[in-house]
Structure 1
Amino acid sequence: MRTIPTLLVSLTALTQSMFAIAAPTPLTPQTAEYQVNYGDIELGKAKYTLPNPEDGVYKYRFDSDLSLLLLTDVRHILSEFTQENSQLSPLRYLQQRQGVGPNYTEQTAFAKAQGFIHTRYKDEKGKFPYEGEIFDPLMVQLQFRLDMVSGKEALDYKMVKDNELDEYKFHVIGRERMNIDSGSYDTVKIEVVRDNKKRQTFFWMAPDLAYLPVRLTHFEKGSKQLDIKLLKYHFDEVVSQESTPADIAEQPQVPKLLGTTEG
């Protein structure tokens, strides 16, 4: 007769053969929350949310609520895009800003079939040709992560921002261990390429977390201006069924937490 420990080992092996937990990718449904500081002063928090796509369309969200003394800045951004293999294509972009100073809305419609991009920023309209690979300021982060996963060397991106076409280039500095309040991470350090050193931006991405950024620092004339650190994150578990009995396969699959960290 089998002992209880032997039965438990057999059950565990059977379960592992039935379900394979996939590692997260940059497009795995996820949330990430960050602490935003101005130097050493806490400004508030920012949150990124990527749910499951709907009818093939991804809806990536960014929400932030920052304040410094009597100054406030609240932003809500939504990016809609599609995916073909490892390439993302933008559809619509919406940013709403409220707080001290002018409130405004920014909207961009990417009409790829017609070959044009239509924009509206602070009540000013713009129109640009849709040529080559182009992104909005939010979903370009996910394209960057996909390119890091695939080992792409040329990290150059053209995006529409503030009724203008901008090009950004990034340089991989190397690997670095990053220790912050939410944990210790093996990261790749990246620098934004600029013509001079008056402005410098560095960020650290964790390969084990599908290159999720864990920290960003921005310097103006050598003085730290922004310091953004990961507070917590989670990826929805992706489960692939290899060989499942019919009675188990008919049961609904409930998304589970794949990885979390709390600050």
Structure 2
Amino acid sequence: MAKKFPTLFAISLLFASSSTLAETTALTPHTAEYQVNYGSIELGRARYILDAPQGNFFQYRFDSDIGLLMLSDKRHIRSDFTLEDDNQLVPMRYSVERTGTGPSFREQAAFAKGQNVVHSRYKEERAQFPYDNDLFDPLMVQLQFRLDMQAHKDELHYTMVKEGEVDDYAFKIVGKERVNIDSGSYQTIKFEVVRDSKKRQTFFWMAPELSYLPIRLTHFEKGSKQLDIKLLNYRFEPTSPTNTPATKQAQLNDDASNEEGE
């Protein structure tokens, strides 16, 4: 059963043409920036960055800088992963660095598939978990979610290593909805986090025409809106044919063959 909502989920200026967007996927290199509000009070901004892949190696990053009065919270999160042929993402390394008001901390996870184990460290606590092909980290799982939506998968259930624990999260589709915010008007699919109680509710909206890029997220506690996160701008940078993972791998193989020939 779903537990507390991942922080990363809680946490447009169009630079590409519509024809280009039609060719994008969740793994197309892109940047998306969001405004984070507490109720109607602006707290700061958050940014997601998916770099161009190096061969079959991907890196996804999240940076946030939010604050209220004398309180501050800065986070730098990184996920390294690879891609299998069936659009299944395979996590490798995950790291979190939090600074600001209160104690700073770090979180790390290493997915050692060859050793059949996941090493986790949250603050000063260390743990190990059995490796599972369906186990994700809380950052790259967002991309897996988007890939699954593009593939029209029905089951939206994910298991993640987060804060030294293994937790299950489930989501359901509420319906289609037009979202009008400062950055633009978007046709979206609305989702809800599945929970046992209605005391905490989280909804988010994703745009199918933007490879299911998140457009907005709202979180309620006992009926009162706590978080309201809205897309400010985004940029897709479609990978050229000479920079695709398959092409890069072929180039690496050719280089290796040439070196052997020499």
Shorter-normalised TM range: 0.7 to 0.9
- Number of residue equivalences: 223
**Equivalent residue runs for 1:17-56 within 5 Å:** 23-56=23-56
Identity %: 62
Unaligned stretches of 5+ residues in structure 1: 1-18, 242-263
- Quote the RMSD (CA, aligned, Å): 1.6
Amino acid at match of 2:95: L
**Equivalent residue runs for 1:1-263 within 5 Å:** 23-85=23-85, 86-238=87-239
SS of 1:152's partner is coil
Higher percent of residues as strand: 1
SS of 1:113's partner is helix
| 1:20-67 superposed Cα distances (whole Å, 9 cap, x missing partner) | 986210000000000000000000000000011123110100000000
CA contact (8 A) 1:158 1:166 kept: yes
Unaligned stretches of 5+ residues in structure 2: 1-18, 243-262
CA contact (8 A) 1:106 1:121 kept: yes
CA contact (8 A) 1:120 1:163 kept: yes
Amino acid at match of 2:152: G
CA contact (8 A) 1:43 1:67 kept: yes
| 1:118-161 superposed Cα distances (whole Å, 9 cap, x missing partner) | 01111110100012311000000000000000000000000000
How far does residue 102 in structure 1 lie from its aligned partner after superposition? 0.7
2-structure distance, mates of 1:151, 1:176 = 18
Q: TM-score, normalised by structure 1?
A: 0.82
> Are residues 33 and 220 of structure 1, via their aligned partners in 2, closer, same or farther at CA, if it must alter by over 3 Å?
same
Amino acid at match of 2:153: K
Higher percent of residues as helix: 2
| 1:141-196 superposed Cα distances (whole Å, 9 cap, x missing partner) | 00000000000000000000000000000000110000000000000000000001
